[in-house]
Amino acid sequence: MKPSLLLPQLLLLAPSSLAQTTTPTYDAVIVGGGLSGLGAAKALSEAGKTFVVLEARDRVGGRVLNHALAAGGYTEVGAEFVGETQDQVLALAAELGLGLYPEYNTGNNVLYHRGERTTYASTPVPPVDALSTTQVLAVIGSINALVAGVDVENPWNSTLAEHWDKQTFDQWLQPFLLTESARFLIEAAIETVFSVEPDELSLLYALSYVAAAGNETTQGSFNRLISIDDGGAQQWRVDGGTQLLAIRLAEKLGSDNVRLSAPVRSIAKTTEEEELESYTVTLKDGTAVQGAHVIVAMSPPLARQITYEPALPEARDQLTAQMRMGAIGKAIAVYETAWWREAEHGSLTGQAVSDAGLARSTFDQSLREGHEPPVGALMTFLEADQMREYDNKTEAEITDQVGQDFAAYFGDDAVADVKEWGGPTAVAGPGIYTNYGPALRQRVGNLHFAGTESSDYWIGYMDGALRSGYRAATEIIER
Ligand SMILES: Cc1cc2nc3c(=O)[nH]c(=O)nc-3n(C[C@H](O)[C@H](O)[C@H](O)COP(=O)(O)OP(=O)(O)OC[C@H]3O[C@@H](n4cnc5c(N)ncnc54)[C@H](O)[C@@H]3O)c2cc1C
Ligand SMILES: *[C@@H]1O[C@H](CO)[C@@H](O)[C@H](O)[C@H]1NC(C)=O
Ligand SMILES: *[C@@H]1O[C@H](CO)[C@@H](O)[C@H](O)[C@H]1NC(C)=O
Ligand SMILES: *[C@@H]1O[C@H](CO)[C@@H](O)[C@H](O)[C@H]1NC(C)=O
């Protein structure tokens, strides 16, 4: 008897064990290995639940990514900063043994406005005329005052939600009759925070995002979003790079439980009975896993690319269709030292705000004092319209333009190593939050939604990603 003929018969004899090996059953299948998915996995693991994380790419971290430099060291092309009230990301860094160091913020900033370069010591507003300064402070004060009226957990429930969601952030700014200088500074700040222009944001969404820049005991404020010192969101850096948060967390979870290069194509409910509800999660290569629960841990626009059976409720469908990613890129110029900090170069912080060129908002992205090898780096966000312009240019053209911008601000014609990157967070225009907001995190049966966009605090940040993952895990653990 030929041995090969035995095979089908053996399979027939043991169908259940075969099913087990090809479609194992987990308490939860987590789709997405960014910080939200890994955070959910951590919480489930601690609660003794079985889980698997399915990550499409060949690495964990999603929007956090270290980039190794040819001369040694690394730079961060995704998320970079952490700050006070970002309690979950700070706790995770400590738990994983990752140190923090302060973002460099000593010396003079650069204002580049109407072709003129001015340096100034740290002040709340860059040095423009007195009327413009007053207007900028008035706008920030008004935003902070409105934020007090936002229901952080359910922004669409805020008393003025309907009113706010009918207008864009830009429409709300109009009556301030801002001078050209005030408008330039306000827009620069908004673009740095949201990566979109003010006319792309609903006022409700913008206010909820500001309200989220705090924690349960500290009210969010616009100031925290844009500052380094005094508890700003840009206060600290993670030694070793933010991607270590994801890499070390994944190591703790175990490689068997975090599967890379595992893009999910569809999520189908396999049983109808409430208690026995389970899902078949199918990868692009056709293999499948089974879970009693599924957590979709990514931004709404990405979640839309997965096929759901049965189709998701209308609100969730519309939400994922209508929210869109901001446009952000980073261009990073790497040097052997942080030379701009030296007195002979003007004792510069590395921060510039500009109304020209591609680089409109820059930061010092050097590695910590004493890092071997030393890495000096200047980084600019390429935001919104500038980033979209980037799509039409060659990398050489971008490098060239950013190099020229840096030379104009910092006095050196360094070549920038340009990294392109997707949006930092998905944003909402008018009408989306009041109509579909609850669908950001409203579970559908045993299908749960995580991702930084679905957080209460620190929407759009690493901290929010972790909070959303922990919340989704709690929905499963508490059941
Ligand atoms: C340039 C840039 C700068 C930033 N700066 C900061 C900062 O300084 N500080 C800060 O706190 N935050 C910053 N952020 C934001 C921060 O990176 C994000 O908020 C956070 O990392 C989001 O985590 P997440 O898990 O919600 O989503 P993601 O990180 O996007 O994770 C989603 C994961 O799902 C995977 N995935 C998608 N589809 C599928 C599929 N079908 N099957 C399987 N897997 C799939 C993706 O590959 C990805 O790994 C920045 C972001 C960018 C882009
Ligand atoms: C909120 O942040 C502040 C400042 O970092 C901190 O002192 C406080 O403990 C945090 N609150 C909570 C509930 O974690
Ligand atoms: C990019 O190029 C396309 C086609 O040439 C053009 O329609 C579009 O307006 C350009 N976008 C920007 C932002 O310059
Ligand atoms: C607030 O929103 C939640 C979820 O969207 C909803 O369940 C709740 O009833 C709302 N609460 C109030 C007071 O409107």
Whole-structure pTM value: 0.92
Whether residues 54 and 79 share a domain: the answer is: no
Q: What is the pLDDT of residue 122?
A: 76
Kindly state whether residue 1 falls inside one of the protein's structural domains: no
How sure is the predictor about 369, in pLDDT bands with cuts at 50, 70 and 90? Answer: very high
How sure is the predictor about 478, in pLDDT bands with cuts at 50, 70 and 90? Answer: confident
Kindly state whether residue 49 falls inside one of the protein's structural domains: yes
Q: What's the rounded mean pLDDT across residues 431-444? A: 94
Q: How many domains does the chain have?
A: 3
Instruction: Please tell me which residue, 388 or 156, carries the higher pLDDT value.
Output: 156
Q: What is the pLDDT of residue 399?
A: 77
Q: What is the pLDDT of residue 387?
A: 67
122 CB near ligand 4 (under 6 Å): no
Whether residues 33 and 76 share a domain: the answer is: no
Q: Percentage of residues in the chain with pLDDT exceeding 90?
A: 74
Instruction: Please tell me which residue, 458 or 67, carries the higher pLDDT value.
Output: 458
Q: Whose CA is nearest to atom 13 of ligand 2?
A: 216
Tens of pLDDT, residue by residue over 76-94, are 989 999 999 999 999 999 9
Whether residues 150 and 208 share a domain: the answer is: yes
Q: What's the rounded mean pLDDT across residues 402-410? A: 90
**Ligand lying closest to the C-alpha of residue 267:** 1
Tens of pLDDT, residue by residue over 283-325, are 999 999 999 999 999 999 999 999 999 999 999 999 999 998 8
Kindly state whether residue 100 falls inside one of the protein's structural domains: yes
Kindly state whether residue 247 falls inside one of the protein's structural domains: yes
Q: Whose CA is nearest to atom 12 of ligand 1?
A: 461
Q: How far is the CA of 408 from the centre of ligand 1 (A)?
A: 32
Kindly state whether residue 5 falls inside one of the protein's structural domains: no
Q: What's the rounded mean pLDDT across residues 396-418? A: 77
Q: What's the rounded mean pLDDT across residues 15-35? A: 71
Whether residues 48 and 73 share a domain: the answer is: no
Q: Which of 161, 196, 227 is at the close of a domain?
A: 227
Average pLDDT, the chain: 89
Instruction: Please tell me which residue, 329 or 298, carries the higher pLDDT value.
Output: 298
Q: Is the pLDDT of residue 472 over 50?
A: yes
How sure is the predictor about 423, in pLDDT bands with cuts at 50, 70 and 90? Answer: low
Q: What is the pLDDT of residue 324?
A: 85
Instruction: Please tell me which residue, 396 or 62, carries the higher pLDDT value.
Output: 62
Q: What is the CATH number of the domain that holds 86?
A: 3.90.660.10
Q: What is the pLDDT of residue 239?
A: 97
Whether residues 158 and 192 share a domain: the answer is: yes
Q: What is the CATH number of the domain that holds 169?
A: 1.10.405.10
Q: What's the rounded mean pLDDT across residues 255-274? A: 91
Which residue among 200, 389, 392 is best mutated to probe the pocket of ligand 3, counting the most ligand atoms within 8 A of its Cβ?
392
Range of the domain at 164: 128-227
Q: What is the pLDDT of residue 382?
A: 82
Q: Is the pLDDT of residue 11 over 80?
A: no
Kindly state whether residue 3 falls inside one of the protein's structural domains: no
Whether residues 307 and 453 share a domain: the answer is: yes
Kindly state whether residue 12 falls inside one of the protein's structural domains: no
438 CB near ligand 4 (under 6 Å): yes
Kindly state whether residue 195 falls inside one of the protein's structural domains: yes
Whether residues 304 and 449 share a domain: the answer is: yes
Q: Give yes or no for a contact between 294 and 447, defined as CB atoms under 8 angstroms apart.
A: yes
The encoded tokens of residue 300 equal 């709404």
